[in-house]
Amino acid sequence: MRKSGILLPISSLPSKYGIGTFGKSAYEFVDLLERGGQSYWQILPLGPTGYGDSPYQSFSTFAGNPYYIDLEMLIEQELLTKEECEEQEFFDHPGYVDYEKIYQGRFQLLEKAFQRSELKSDKDYQVFVEANQYWLDDYALFMAVKKAFDGVSFSEWSEDIKTRKPEAIKRYTEKCKEEINYYKFLQYYFAKQWQALKQYANEKGIKIIGDIPIYVAFDSADTWANPKLFQFDDNLTPIAVAGCPPDSFSATGQLWGNPLYDWGYHKETEYEWWMTRIRYCYELYDIVRIDHFRGFDEYYAIPFGHLTAENGKWEKGPGYDLFAVMKDQLGKKSVIAEDLGFLTKSVFALVKKTGYPGMKILQFAFDSREESDYLPHNYQKNCVVYTGTHDNDTVAGWWKTFAKRDKAFAKKYLNIRGNKEVHWFFIRACLSSVADTAIIPMQDYLGLGSEARINTPSTLGDNWKWRLLPKQFNEDIADKMFELTKLYYRL
């Protein structure tokens, strides 16, 4: 079935209180997607973020980001007042997230909501806590202890709680009881609001494509609670960390810094943690995009302490073994394999063996020196085509800096006349291709420039901030979206 959808992070939705949420604007966005004939809404990871605000560096692979809890819904439930919310300053510009202001203001409000909640009499809360105990207890304790140590990494905690001595776990669980309940409260309301939004989207015929990062953050509940899963020394220090070698994105490579898995241990446990993680993803999403898929074939290991990714080496990953267990235990699931970057024959073979559709990025297609697999005439049906991803500039921004010779090739290939509104040519090329699925970033439908870029890899400071302005995505855009979707048989 030919289908299409839109890529937009939750954080990029409009809202009154500084960042996109699961509130009214999210429901209006779903309504416009339905009007536009779309079948998919692709989002970025939903986990709670720390330093750098990247959704790919989360305090937990299971927990949700409290920033996305809608304050207006809490006002309606009389857990907050409108006056309390309006007293806080959340942003300087409605088109960008100010994470410092969000951090300082939002958690104060959420703590007030927690104090006013009646959790002891809320049966749904009790059901949620019991059903999610396998990750929620560790996460809530991790966050509470982290707060007790003024937010420093768990590697800097007292030795007894850092290494999870039973008496220390017992002592901190009692000492931080109120904080632990607060973090459970946040996860309950996150899940409650998200599941309601997801159900609304599903009822409108729109499936959610979620993102599972291959790695977890070093400073996370996952590493603290399960150190055996990772390549750590006896002091819980990483032996090597994740990244990728130098490429067109970065001359020194990308040093992500995530701890690497001990794949031998995972194999011994029949990938139990991975199966739990993936199973949980399908409670949140309808389709899962597995980030950095090539890391399951081979992963890039950078010695811990190095300042760049230049001196790493490739190591063997679990290969098809993990996905065989997944199919055996979880059945057939809808997956998108993020197979970008430098790919070897073994990576191509792994993607083919799984049967998962890979990704095609149209911006990568136009190297005038050679024919590219990303050119639409080379696509197979079983793939997902994008104009660009969250790691790319917008089409309009990228076009301005595009090499002259390559731009001439793109103009000839796409029959572009002039330089105005080139984004429509790229959108048409994606939608008209044989790819079963086409996903277009919202910014490209709006023709926005580099100011609307989501992320520039290997940089800090200006990423994950862009937001839609109210009414920027409107019925006129949705109607044009519908016309193209219908024209290329993707309804």
Nearest C-alpha neighbor of 245 from the set 205, 295, 206, 171: 295
Q: Which runs of consecutive H residues, i.e. helices, occur in 166-230?
A: 166-175, 177-203, 221-225
Tokens of 247: 């490429």
Tokens of 37: 């004939």
> Which whole-number Å values give the CA distances from 21 to 29, 86, 403, in the listed order?
11, 16, 38
100 has catalytic annotation: no
Given the residues 297, 338, 393, 444, select the one marked as catalytic: 338
CB 89 within 8 A of CB 104: no
Task: Count Cα atoms within 13 angstroms, Cβ side, for 373.
Answer: 12
Q: What is the radius of gyration, based on Cα positions, of the chain?
A: 23
Q: Count Cβ atoms within 10 A of the Cβ of residue 199 and give its class: 0-12 exposed, 13-18 middle, 19 or more buried.
A: exposed
Amino acid identity, position 297: D
Which long-range contacts (C-beta less than 8 Å, at least 24 apart) are formed by 80-85?
Answer: 80/109, 80/112, 80/113, 80/116, 84/109, 84/112, 85/16, 85/17, 85/109
Sheet holding 254-259, edge to edge: 254-259, 240-244, 298-303, 313-316
Other Cβ atoms closer than 10 A to 105: 19
| Structure-derived torsion over alpha carbons of residues 280, 319, 245, 219, reported in degrees to the nearest 10 | 30
Given the residues 179, 219, 291, 444, select the one marked as catalytic: 291
262 has catalytic annotation: no
Q: What is the 3-state secondary structure (H, E, C) of 239-304?
A: CEEEEECCCCCCCCCEEEEEECECHHHHHHCCCHHHHHHHHHHHHHCCEEEECCHHHHCEEEEEEC
Coil vs helix vs strand at 69: coil
What whole-number distance in Å separates Cα of residue 144 and Cα of residue 149? 9
Residue 360 φ/ψ, nearest 5 degrees: -125, 130
What whole-number distance in Å separates Cα of residue 266 and Cα of residue 251? 33
What whole-number distance in Å separates Cα of residue 194 and Cα of residue 187? 10
Amino acid identity, position 356: Y
89 has catalytic annotation: no
Given the residues 28, 34, 391, 406, select the one marked as catalytic: 391
Kindly state the DSSP code that residue 214 receives in the 8-state scheme: S
Catalytic site positions:
291, 338, 391
